[in-house]
Amino acid sequence: MVDPKRVVSYEDMLKVIQQPEKVIIDVRNIDEIKATGKIPSSINIPLGEVQNVLTSMSDDEFKKNFQRSKPTSSDELIFYCQSGRRSSEALDKALKLGYSNSKTYLGSWNDWSSRQQ
């Protein structure tokens, strides 16, 4: 069960996509994103790579791959996936790595895409 203080809503996401200092991370696989699209301003780090990217990727490599600065442990990270399960796993990993302001969009792509019609 995810702590309710760590959950963002669709309404929150509408604001967050306009706040470049917040890092929205899509943890789906690239083929899923190609098939469906993504939330504006999000970057793609598949769930299996989240820990490695956050711990081992250099700042320069991160900037080259994602066209933005690597987040610090105090930055707000918001994870989403297709339905909320993988984003909750990613949240757990990030919190264990010390990214204390991390959150999850539990509605994830299913909620976002259904409301963007």
List, in order of start, the domains of the chain with CATH numbers. 4-115 (3.40.250.10)
Q: Which is catalytic among the residues 81, 90, 91, 106?
A: 81
Q: What's the CA gap between 35 and 58, in Å, rounded?
A: 30
Strand order in the sheet with 23-26: 43-44, 23-26, 77-80, 103-104
Query: Residue 19: what pLDDT?
Result: 95
Query: Residue 63: what pLDDT?
Result: 97
Helix and strand numbers (H, E) in the chain are 6, 4
Ranges of the chain whose pLDDT falls below 50 = none
Query: Residue 117: what pLDDT?
Result: 67
Query: Residue 49: what pLDDT?
Result: 98
Report pLDDT digits (tens) over 35-58: 999 999 999 999 999 999 999 999
Q: Is 92 known to be catalytic?
A: no
The structure's pTM equals 0.97
